[in-house]
Amino acid sequence: MSKNILITYATYTGSAQIVAEQISANLSNKEFKTTVMPMTEVKDLSGFDAVIAGSAIHGGMWLPEAFDFLESHKEKLNSKPFAAFLVCMTMAMKNSEKYLQFVSDFMIPVRKIVPPVSEGLFAGRLEIKKVQSLTDKIKFRISIATGVMKEGDHISSTEILRWSDSLSHLL
Ligand SMILES: Cc1cc2nc3c(=O)[nH]c(=O)nc-3n(C[C@H](O)[C@H](O)[C@H](O)COP(=O)(O)O)c2cc1C
């Protein structure tokens, strides 16, 4: 019987949802049954054999609702295969491979609550008009002006496919 996988996300501007949907599309092709939903809507994990959860990164952390999800469901999450991903702009920077350890450390607080069987670190997208705080808008404009970041969509379907392929035998 095919395994039932929950793929759940926390997002601010939509990239984590896109990543979740691409993971789902790939795993459905491998005969997993997948459900994609925002973390804020997850009520009960009993019907799922494994969970993949991912969040946008703000200030080097998963979003607060993603930690609420982990805390609310930690017993069940610790009893089944759990894989985690993050979406951030550091992974979209030039020579992002230099920052892999730095980005991987964004997962330390997640690991302390539920250790993932695997972690996906993905580039996201930046749309300054969707950033609410003026201070954050200015910070991003400076990063763009100095060439540190580029506005726009940096989601790599190839990287998402590679990671989700690697999950098949872990879930
Ligand atoms: C307020 C704010 C803070 C952010 N902080 C970080 C950060 O600390 N590190 C980073 O690499 N990206 C950071 N980003 C970039 C987001 O992680 C990136 O745009 C991601 O794709 C957003 O995902 P979402 O579209 O699912 O919300 C930040 C974005 C915003 C708006």
Q: What is the pLDDT of residues 32-78, one digit of tens each?
A: 999 999 999 999 999 999 999 999 999 999 999 999 999 999 999 99
pLDDT at residue number 1: 72
Give 111-163 pLDDT, tens digit per residue: 999 999 999 999 999 999 989 899 999 999 999 999 888 999 999 999 999 99
Q: Which 8-state DSSP code applies to residue 95?
A: T
Instruction: Give pTM, 2 decimals.
Output: 0.96
**Domain assignment of residue 145, given as a range:** 4-167
Give 74-110 pLDDT, tens digit per residue: 999 999 999 999 999 999 998 888 999 999 999 999 9
pLDDT at residue number 39: 98
| Vertex 163: Cα angle to 160 and 168 (nearest 5) | 125
Q: How many domains does the chain have?
A: 1
**How far does residue 106's CA lie from ligand 1's centre (Å)?**
12
Residue 136: CB within 6 Å of ligand 1? yes
**How far does residue 28's CA lie from ligand 1's centre (Å)?**
28
pLDDT at residue number 45: 97
Residue carrying structure tokens 């997993």: 32
* Strand bridging mode 50-58 / 61-62: antiparallel
pLDDT at residue number 96: 87
For residue 102, give the CATH number of its domain.
3.40.50.360
**How far does residue 17's CA lie from ligand 1's centre (Å)?**
13
Burial state string for 134-164 with b = 16 or more CB within 10 A and e = fewer than 16: eeeeeebeebeeeeebebeebbeeebbeebb
3-state secondary structure (DSSP) of residue 2: coil
